């Protein structure tokens, strides 16, 4: 292939853009639309192999089905002069591998800003049953669009499309992908699912934050052994300025058992977003054995609802701890007036006999005391003359009749001294007594 060659009668090659073992990428111009595109042409020496042709077709088919802003767009696919070609959108910028070679490593916010769009693109691919199987820095492109940077996923050449039976040339035991970024199950040649892409994405993030890979063996055999058996060094031991919660994130993201990892690209992205906001997500811890529905929100331990109790009417407390203070206040509000009322009644009952007695006796005592002591008034009080008036009050007058003889036997000074307290009166006190209480 040379500059000026025309492919499929509509694309003219202008300059080479990149070259690999399977072929080359050229900047080409669409003759009718006068638009620049990226044209990927298979190397002639591989054009006759079924695997290479199937890889081109798989990449074109996968990208055409995804149609996501974070996945490179494919415009055309065909065969010209028995050589397959693939037409994609032309991107301006650099891939993540070139960026890391220059910057060595990225800050946590910058790394998250790169990985989050990849999560979005992978989520769309996984929803369509497409597994990339080769996520690595060289397949993550940082495209410049004016003043913005748009992250794009490249190269679905080894992707696995789970809903298609035809065109699947890979079988168990075949090693596909880049060993440094592949998952343990992929390294063992086993069938993989979308969680293998999430492992590879975690390795890319690890490299962005630490400037190195979690497994650094150079020989392929040693690398595969490390990948399947050796523990992952915590990122904070390499980059101490990272927050400690990053270690917990990678403990789950790089779990060797797929069931222990993040179960979806959405869950992976949510955990990343929590790292960026400084609020670690509880889903970083050990996951449930069963896969959680990504549409359901995560619930922290602090949001766990209290134990349920028997339903009650609206407005009624449902726990003992809540009803006890209200019951105590209600009882106190009822008991206090009752106690005060009973106390007032008791005080009234104790004080009422003395006060009426003193008043009733003292009222006639003044005129009696004004009489001479020698008057026959005491004698008249026991004479039978007032008997008719005493007849209706015989039960009440009986106890009061006993004191008069004693009083008459006493000396006048003693009688005068006791008169204000207990001295009975002649007939006038009888109508003043209260028949209810008997005083």
Residue 306 lies in a domain: no
Read off the pLDDT of residues 163-202 as tens digits, 9 standing for 90 and up: 654 444 444 445 566 888 999 998 888 888 999 999 999 9
The pLDDT confidence band at residue 104, using thresholds 50, 70 and 90, is: very high
Q: 354 phi and psi, to 5 degrees?
A: -70, -40
Residue 216 lies in a domain: yes
Domain's final residue, options 72, 90, 108: 90
Kindly report the pTM of this predicted structure. Answer: 0.61
Judge if 256 and 113 occupy the same domain: yes
Q: Decide which of 341 and 413 is more confident.
A: 341
In this prediction, residues 30-55 reach a mean pLDDT of: 85
Judge if 44 and 107 occupy the same domain: no
Judge if 65 and 95 occupy the same domain: no
Q: How many domains does the chain have?
A: 2
Residue 31 lies in a domain: yes
Residue 393 has pLDDT above 60, yes or no: no
- Cβ of 61: how many Cβ atoms within 10 Å? 18
Judge if 184 and 132 occupy the same domain: yes
Judge if 110 and 61 occupy the same domain: no
Residue 360 has pLDDT above 60, yes or no: no
Residue 326 has pLDDT above 60, yes or no: no
Read off the pLDDT of residues 42-51 as tens digits, 9 standing for 90 and up: 887 777 777 7
Instruction: Identify which of 92, 44, 84 has the alpha carbon closest to the alpha carbon of residue 61.
Output: 84
Give the model's pLDDT for residue 60.
Answer: 85
Judge if 239 and 96 occupy the same domain: yes
324-334 b/e (C-beta count within 10 Å ≥ 16 → b): eeeeeeeeeee
Q: Decide which of 34 and 158 is more confident.
A: 34
Read off the pLDDT of residues 364-385 as tens digits, 9 standing for 90 and up: 444 444 444 454 444 444 444 4
Read off the pLDDT of residues 61-93 as tens digits, 9 standing for 90 and up: 888 889 899 999 999 988 888 888 899 999 999
Judge if 73 and 128 occupy the same domain: no
Strand partners, 29: 12, 36
Q: Is 111 left (phi over 0), alpha (psi -120 to 50) or beta?
A: alpha
What CATH number should be reported for the domain holding residue 199?
1.10.510.10
Q: Do the Cβ atoms of 175 and 187 come closer than 8 Å?
A: yes
Judge if 9 and 126 occupy the same domain: no
In this prediction, residues 117-137 reach a mean pLDDT of: 94
Give the model's pLDDT for residue 293.
Answer: 44
User: Domain limits at 28?
Assistant: 1-90
Give the model's pLDDT for residue 437.
Answer: 42
Domain's final residue, options 290, 313, 346: 290
Residue 353 lies in a domain: no
Judge if 36 and 134 occupy the same domain: no
Q: Do the Cβ atoms of 408 and 382 come closer than 8 Å?
A: yes
Catalytic residue numbers?
Answer: 134
In this prediction, residues 281-295 reach a mean pLDDT of: 41
Domain's final residue, options 290, 325, 342: 290
Judge if 22 and 112 occupy the same domain: no
Give the model's pLDDT for residue 276.
Answer: 78
Give the model's pLDDT for residue 383.
Answer: 41
Residue 277 lies in a domain: yes
Give the model's pLDDT for residue 157.
Answer: 80
Judge if 104 and 68 occupy the same domain: no
Judge if 38 and 48 occupy the same domain: yes
Tokens 């042709």 appear where?
A: 53
Tokens 């009080």 appear where?
A: 381
Q: Do the Cβ atoms of 100 and 106 come closer than 8 Å?
A: yes
The region of weakest confidence among 15-24, 138-147, 289-298, 410-419 is: 289-298
């Amino acid at each position: 292939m040379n500059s000026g060659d025309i492919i499929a009668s509509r694309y003219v090659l202008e300059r080479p853009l990149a070259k690999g073992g399977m072929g080359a990428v050229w900047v080409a111009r669409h003759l009718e639309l006068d638009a620049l595109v990226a044209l990927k042409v298979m190397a002639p020496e591989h054009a006759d192999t079924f695997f290479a042709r199937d890889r081109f077709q798989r990449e074109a088919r996968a990208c055409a089905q995804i149609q996501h802003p974070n996945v490179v767009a494919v415009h055309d696919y065909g065969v010209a002069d028995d050589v397959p070609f693939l037409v994609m959108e032309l991107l301006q910028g650099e891939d993540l591998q070139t960026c890391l070679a220059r910057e060595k490593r990225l800050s946590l916010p910058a790394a998250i800003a790169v990985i989050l769009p990849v999560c979005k693109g992978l989520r769309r691919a996984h929803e369509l049953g497409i597994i990339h199987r080769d996520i690595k820095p060289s397949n993550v492109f940082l495209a410049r669009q004016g003043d913005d940077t748009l992250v794009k996923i490249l190269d679905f050449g080894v992707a696995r499309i789970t809903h298609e039976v035809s065109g699947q040339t890979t079988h168990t035991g075949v090693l596909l992908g880049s060993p440094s970024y592949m998952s343990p199950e992929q390294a063992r040649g086993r069938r993989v699912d979308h969680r293998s892409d999430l492992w590879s994405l975690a390795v890319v993030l690890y490299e962005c934050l630490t400037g190195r890979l979690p497994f650094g063996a150079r020989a392929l055999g040693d690398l595969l052994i490390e990948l399947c058996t050796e523990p992952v060094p915590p990122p904070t031991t390499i980059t101490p300025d990272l927050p400690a919660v990053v270690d917990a994130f990678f403990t789950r993201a790089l779990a060797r058992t797929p069931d222990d990892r993040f179960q979806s690209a959405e869950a992976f992205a949510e955990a990343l977003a929590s790292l960026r906001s400084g609020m670690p997500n509880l889903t970083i811890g050990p996951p449930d054995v069963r896969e959680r529905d990504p549409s359901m929100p995560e619930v922290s331990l602090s949001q766990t609802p209290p134990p349920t109790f028997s339903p009650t009417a609206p407005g009624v407390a449902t726990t003992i701890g809540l009803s006890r203070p209200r019951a105590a206040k209600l009882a106190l509000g009822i008991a206090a007036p009752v106690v005060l009322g009973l106390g007032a009644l008791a005080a009234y009952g104790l004080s009422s006999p003395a006060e009426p007695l003193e008043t009733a006796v003292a009222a006639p005592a003044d005129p009696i005391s004004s009489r001479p002591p020698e008057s026959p008034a005491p004698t008249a009080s026991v004479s039978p003359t007032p008997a008719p008036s005493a007849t209706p009050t015989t039960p009440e007058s009986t106890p009061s009749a006993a004191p008069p003889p004693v009083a008459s036997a006493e000396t006048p000074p003693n009688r005068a001294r006791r008169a204000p307290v207990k001295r009975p009166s002649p007939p006038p006190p009888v109508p003043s007594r209260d028949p209810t209480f008997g005083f």
